[in-house]
Structures are given as C-alpha cells and as structure tokens.
C-alpha cells in the first residue's frame, strides 16, 4: 500500500514495528513504533508517557515527510 | 472438442517486421504461424482462429485495438485464449498482457501466455494472466508453445492445478489454502525448517515473500505548515459497527472515516477488528494506532496545515500483496481528490 501511494507521488512515511519487513517490501521512509498491538502508546505505562511517545514519534514522522532522502531511511526516535 | 484462439503480433502473424508494426488487428480463421504448433500440441482443444495485431498499433492505439479484438470475439465460441509466446519482446509482451486481461475480464475464459522473465509484460500482467516463464528468443518457440498447451490442456480437463512455481508460471500473488498429501502438520514442518536453517542447510519456505519492486522516493513535502496530512492504517481501526465490514484477516476491503469534528478517536466509538493481535490496547485508545490526537496537536501548533478529514483503514494480516496494492491504488484516488500533501501509514 505504501508503495502504491508513493508511486502516485505522495510523500509517505511508514510507522512500523517490523522495520525489516517495511524495508523488504520497499518503504522508503520508516519510523519505528513500539509494538504491533499498540504501535504508539504502551498501555502499561502512564497516559502521560504514552502521549509523550506518540507525540514525539508522530513528530518524527512529519519531519520525515519533509526530508529529501536518497535511499531507504529509518528515522531515529528518542523515546 | 473445446476451442482455443491465439493472439500473435505482426511478425509471428506473418504480416511483416518492424515496418508493419502499425498493422491494425485482424482475425483469421484457422492456423497462422505458431498457431499450427499450438494446435498440434493441444490435446483437449483445437485452435479455431488466429488474431494478429501490430505491436505499435496495440501500443499507441490500445483502446481501439482492444475494442476491435473484443468485437471479433463477440460471436466466436472459445474456451481458452492464448497469446504469444512473446519471449523478450517488450511491446509484444505488453500486447499479450493487455489483450489477455481484456479477454479474461469480458469473457471469463482462462488466458495463458509465455514471456521471458525480463519482459516488462511479466511485472505488468502476472497478476492477471497465467504467464509462463519462456525463452529469450524465438529459438524456444516449440518449447514455450508446448508449455502453454500443456497447461491449457490441464485447465480444460479440470485437472487440479498446482501452485505457480510447480506449474511454471509467474506467481500471481494469490494464496490458496491447500491440504498436503503428507498430512504433516505445520508445527512439524516449521520445526524441520528451523532445524535445517540452524544447521545451515537449504530449506524451502512455504510463504515466499515476492521480490520487492522499488518505488522512487516521492518528492518531500515542501512546507509542512501548509500541508494536508492523511493517516492510513493497516491496524483495522473502524467505527465500532464496522460499517464497511472489513475482514479481520485476509482483507479485501478498506474504509474511510470522517474525523473532521474529532479531537481524538474515542474508545467505544472506534475499535480494532484486526485478528492478528490482542485488541485491548487499541480498543481502549484507538489513537495508539491512528494518532489523531497527536496530529491535532501539531495542527494547533501550526506545524502542519491541516489533518485530512478522513483516515483510511484496512487490515494487514494475511492480506496478499496483490490485494494490498489494489487497495492502495484505490485509496490514492481519494487522496488525490482531497489534495493531500503527505501520508502517514501506521502498520501493525
């Protein structure tokens, strides 16, 4: 799906837990998430921490959309 | 006796070479060029007609060519349609793919072709057509025709068809459930594979991942503060009544849901129908998969221009790449219409 959307010319970033799979299928911009059932917020942690994580990683993804990368890139996240 | 029709280009249809590539489609009764060989090799059908069309005509006036040929076929009886072999001839491969796909869609008959692996027609049409792996040049004519005929006979006789690799055609990206003759359970087979892998021995996966075709990296968003950002997810986040009845696994459907009046996705209003993981976390807080709340925060701050009115959902587990690609293409049309500037895909 990522590829078809990118093929149509839309900048797209994939937020994925299985980064190697995202790479194999050909996503060009990848931001890691923390798990499969809850990619952007671990329910075992306080709400505040979940929000911080989600806000941060979505921010990284948004910045990734503006980056002019030349190859498949996995973007770094802080938490 | 069942009936078959064969499509050829101007060269193999004995009209002429490159100078005749603009040749408009014709249908001839009987056997021309490779049609004779195909007819000889086919046991369960006879080739009744040969269609010939110039490669450039098909390339540059595709709609007209397809329409003309479909009209030729309208009053013909046939049970199977063949095209080529096209070897490594790119335009011919394209032509075979185009016409096979159109014939299959209109008449619902099996369509069979053969191409060299490097023929661009393979990637373009392998999902729609049984394309057998053929030779590089016409030197392999007899062999490739025989392959097509053997498979055609098999289809026509209703014999059980084996997976793409065993039959010898390019995988179409379709998965079938099969019962193994050996009755050996999956748990045993996977452990055997693992043991082989650990011993550094060759093993054959039962779930080959098709080789990736790379897409050029799209030009980046120039000004995020004016950009409309859309979220797509494969985590199955839907309104609680799942109005589009998206399947929980092996999805073939997707949905788009209006969030223009929402600050965040509320548990109880949205949930996940994904069957591949424990839904508790996403049911309680769907924003962990569709981070609408975070995007709204960035919208308020002015980091992004706007959150797109809708988010898009399907389920990624067990979904074939072919289906995913189709759904992706369908979603693209909506993104275009809404002038979306950038997309965040959350996959689970």
Reported confidence tier of residue B101, pLDDT bands at 50, 70, 90: very high
Which pLDDT score is estimated for B200? Answer: 94
Handedness of CA B154, B155, B160, B162 (dihedral sign): positive
Residue B308 structure tokens: 């797109």
The pLDDT mean for chain B works out to 94
Cα–Cα dist B87/B31, whole Å:
20
Q: How high is the ipTM of this complex? A: 0.98
For residue B146, count other CB atoms closer than 10 A to its CB.
17
pLDDT over 90 percentage in chain B = 79
* Contact assignment for A2 to B328 by CB distance below 8 Å: yes
Instruction: Say if A45 is an interface residue toward chain B (CB within 8 Å).
Output: no
Reported confidence tier of residue B307, pLDDT bands at 50, 70, 90: very high
Q: What is the DSSP letter of B103?
A: H
pLDDT over 70 percentage in chain B = 99
CA closest to A22 among chain B residues: B347
Which of A45-54, B118-127, B246-255 has the largest mean confidence? A45-54
Cα–Cα dist A38/A59, whole Å:
17
Look at residue B210 and tell me whether its pLDDT is greater than 80: no
Cα–Cα dist B70/B251, whole Å:
33
CA closest to B236 among chain A residues: A37
CA closest to A52 among chain B residues: B294
- The structural domains of chain B, ordered by start, are 2-167 (3.40.50.2300), 224-346 (no CATH)
Q: Looking at beta carbons, which residues of chain B come within 8 Å of A50?
A: 285, 288
Reported confidence tier of residue B223, pLDDT bands at 50, 70, 90: very high
* Average pLDDT rounded to a whole number, residues B152-169: 92
* Contact assignment for B227 to A17 by CB distance below 8 Å: no
* Contact assignment for B342 to A12 by CB distance below 8 Å: yes
Look at residue B5 and tell me whether its pLDDT is greater than 70: yes
Instruction: Say if A49 is an interface residue toward chain B (CB within 8 Å).
Output: no
Instruction: Say if A12 is an interface residue toward chain B (CB within 8 Å).
Output: yes
* Average pLDDT rounded to a whole number, residues B169-188: 86
Q: Degrees (nearest 5) of the Cα angle A41, A71, B116? A: 115
Look at residue A63 and tell me whether its pLDDT is greater than 90: yes
Give the number of beta-carbon pairs within 8 Å between A and B.
173
Ranking B115-119, B167-171, B215-219, B250-254 by mean pLDDT, the lowest is B115-119
Look at residue B11 and tell me whether its pLDDT is greater than 80: yes
Q: What is the DSSP letter of A49?
A: H
Question: Measured between CA atoms, how close is A68 to chain B, in angstroms?
Answer: 6
Cα–Cα dist B16/B23, whole Å:
9
Instruction: Say if A48 is an interface residue toward chain B (CB within 8 Å).
Output: no
Alpha helices in chain B (DSSP H): 34-41, 55-60, 62-74, 90-107, 120-125, 141-157, 164-167, 186-198, 280-284, 292-301, 321-337
Reported confidence tier of residue B45, pLDDT bands at 50, 70, 90: very high
Residue for token digits 């057509």? B129
Instruction: Say if A30 is an interface residue toward chain B (CB within 8 Å).
Output: no
Which pLDDT score is estimated for B163? Answer: 86
Q: Which of B222, B276, B281 sits opposite A43 (nearest CB)?
A: B281
Close Cβ partners of B105 (under 8 Å, ≥ 6 residues apart): none
pLDDT tens string B236-256: 999 999 999 999 988 999 999
| CB of B306 closer than 8 Å to CB of B285 | no
Reported confidence tier of residue B40, pLDDT bands at 50, 70, 90: very high
Q: Looking at beta carbons, which residues of chain A come within 8 Å of B287?
A: 40-41, 54
Instruction: Say if A68 is an interface residue toward chain B (CB within 8 Å).
Output: yes
Largest CA distance in chain B: 73
Which pLDDT score is estimated for B212? Answer: 59
* Contact assignment for A37 to B282 by CB distance below 8 Å: yes
Look at residue B294 and tell me whether its pLDDT is greater than 90: yes
């Amino acid at each position: 799906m990522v590829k078809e959307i990118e093929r149509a010319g839309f900048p797209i970033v994939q937020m994925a837990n299985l980064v190697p799979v995202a790479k194999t299928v050909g996503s060009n911009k990848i931001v890691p998430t923390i798990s499969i059932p809850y990619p952007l917020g671990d329910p075992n942690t306080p709400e505040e921490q979940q929000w911080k994580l989600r806000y941060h990683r979505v921010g990284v993804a948004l910045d990734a959309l503006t980056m002019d990368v030349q190859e498949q890139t996995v973007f770094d996240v802080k938490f | 006796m069942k009936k078959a029709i064969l499509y050829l280009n101007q060269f193999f249809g004995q009209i002429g070479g490159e100078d005749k590539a603009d040749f408009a489609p014709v249908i001839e009764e009987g056997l021309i060029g490779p049609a004779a060989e195909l007819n000889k090799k086919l046991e369960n059908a006879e080739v009744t007609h040969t269609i010939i069309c110039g490669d450039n005509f098909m390339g540059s006036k595709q709609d007209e060519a397809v329409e003309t040929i479909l009209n030729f076929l309208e009053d013909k009886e046939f049970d199977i349609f063949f095209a080529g072999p096209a070897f490594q001839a790119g335009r011919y491969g394209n032509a075979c793919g185009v016409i096979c796909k159109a014939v299959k869609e209109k008449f619902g008959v099996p369509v069979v072709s053969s191409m060299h692996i490097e023929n661009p027609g393979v990637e373009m049409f392998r999902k729609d057509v049984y394309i057998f792996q053929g030779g590089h040049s016409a030197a392999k004519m007899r062999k490739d025709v025989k392959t097509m005929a053997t498979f055609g006979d098999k289809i026509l006789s209703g014999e059980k068809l084996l997976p793409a690799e065993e039959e010898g055609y390019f995988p179409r990206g379709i998965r079938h459930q099969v019962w193994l003759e050996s009755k050996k359970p999956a748990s045993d087979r996977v452990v055997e594979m693992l043991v082989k892998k650990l011993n550094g021995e060759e093993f054959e996966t039962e779930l080959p991942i098709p080789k990736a075709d790379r897409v050029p990296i799209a030009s980046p968003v120039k000004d995020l503060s004016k950009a409309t950002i859309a979220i797509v997810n494969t985590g199955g986040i839907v309104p609680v009544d799942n109005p589009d009845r998206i399947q929980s696994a092996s999805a073939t459907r997707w949905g788009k849901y209006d969030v223009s009046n929402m600050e965040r996705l509320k548990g109880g209003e949205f949930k996940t129908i994904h069957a591949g993981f424990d839904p508790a976390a996403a049911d309680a807080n769907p924003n962990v998969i569709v981070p609408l709340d975070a995007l709204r925060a960035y919208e308020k701050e002015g980091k992004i221009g706007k959150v797109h009115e809708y988010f898009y959902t399907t389920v990624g587990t067990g979904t074939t790449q072919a289906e995913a690609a189709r759904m992706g293409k369908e979603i693209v049309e909506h993104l275009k219409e809404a002038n979306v500037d950038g997309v965040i895909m959350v996959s689970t």
